Amino acid sequence: MPFTIAIDGPAAAGKGTIARALAERFGFAHLDTGMIYRAVGAIGGDPIEAARRLSATDLLRPDLRSATAGQAASRVAAIPEVRAALIVFQRRFARTGAGAVLDGRDIGTVICPEAEVKLYVTADDRTRAARRAAELGADYEQTLAELRERDARDAARDVAPMRPAEDAVVLDTTLLSIEEATSQAAALVAQRLENHRG
């Protein structure tokens, strides 16, 4: 029986790192759903058409981690038709194989509301900006401004706004090392997995 882990939260809170670690630890497939939206934004042209034609190859583009792609992703993600075109792909991924970990902004609330584990990974915006600036070698103040702008847009959009699912476990990584955050998440997953299989 498939087991789905839904991880949501704002940029640079650590959700991607935690998602990859959990997928590796439990032998599950991993999908960074932000890459789907980044790919749609990076392809350019009509975003709805790009979303409908998106392929696995598009997720391998080398420019998807750039700040430009991140801003484009946030813009196209606010388009209802783009989201609708990508929901089927994500839901199918979530229920294939023994298990899957999906991380994004609306996994626990919209894409996989039936997920066995829902995590909302967050951290204060200054901590997140410092992490992202260090990762990209970017200016801290500019990164902070961009993160705040993106958070506001993602939280205020009409379709699938970024927020924790009602039954999500909130994991604040502001004062945690990645090892501590991953350990806490893994303990929760192990407990739920045991109950699921039992």
pLDDT single digits (tens) 116-143:
999 999 999 999 999 999 999 999 999 9
Check whether 1 has a pLDDT greater than 80: no
How many Cα atoms occupy the beta-carbon half-sphere of 67 within 13 Å? 18
CA atoms of 194 and 183, how far apart (whole Å):
16
Is the Cβ–Cβ distance between 104 and 164 less than 8 Å?
no
Widest pairwise Cα distance in the chain = 50
**Phi/psi of residue 85, each to 5°?**
-65, -25
Residues in Cβ contact with 157 at an 8 Å cutoff, skipping those fewer than 6 apart: 77, 78
Q: What is the pLDDT of residue 2?
A: 86
Which tokens go with 114?
């039936």
Say if residue 10 carries a ligand binding annotation: yes
Check whether 5 has a pLDDT greater than 90: yes
Quick one: CA dihedral 94, 67, 156, 172, positive or negative? Answer: positive
- Whole domain around residue 45: which residue ranges? 3-197
Say if residue 12 carries a ligand binding annotation: yes
Say if residue 13 carries a ligand binding annotation: yes
pLDDT tens-digit readout, 138-171: 999 999 999 999 899 888 888 788 899 999 999 9
Q: What is the pTM of this model?
A: 0.85
Q: Which of 102, 111, 113 is nearest to 19 (CA)?
A: 102
Q: What is the pLDDT of residue 193?
A: 94
* Cβ-based burial of 59 (10 A; exposed 0-12, middle 13-18, buried ≥19): middle
CATH code of residue 121: 3.40.50.300
Question: What is the separation, in whole angstroms, between the first and last Cα of the chain?
Answer: 12
CA 50 from centroid of its chain's CA atoms: 20
Q: Which of 169, 174, 165, 60 is nearest to 107 (CA)?
A: 165
The one-letter amino acid code at 34 reads G
Check whether 48 has a pLDDT greater than 80: yes
- Across 17-25, average pLDDT: 97
Beta bridge partners of 140: none
Say if residue 21 carries a ligand binding annotation: no
Say if residue 16 carries a ligand binding annotation: yes
Number of independent structural domains in the chain: 1
Mean residue pLDDT across the chain: 93
Count CB atoms within 10 A of the CB of residue 23.
19
Say if residue 9 carries a ligand binding annotation: yes
pLDDT tens-digit readout, 58-92: 988 999 988 889 889 989 988 999 989 999 889 98
- Among all chains, which residue has been given the structure tokens 């970024």? 162
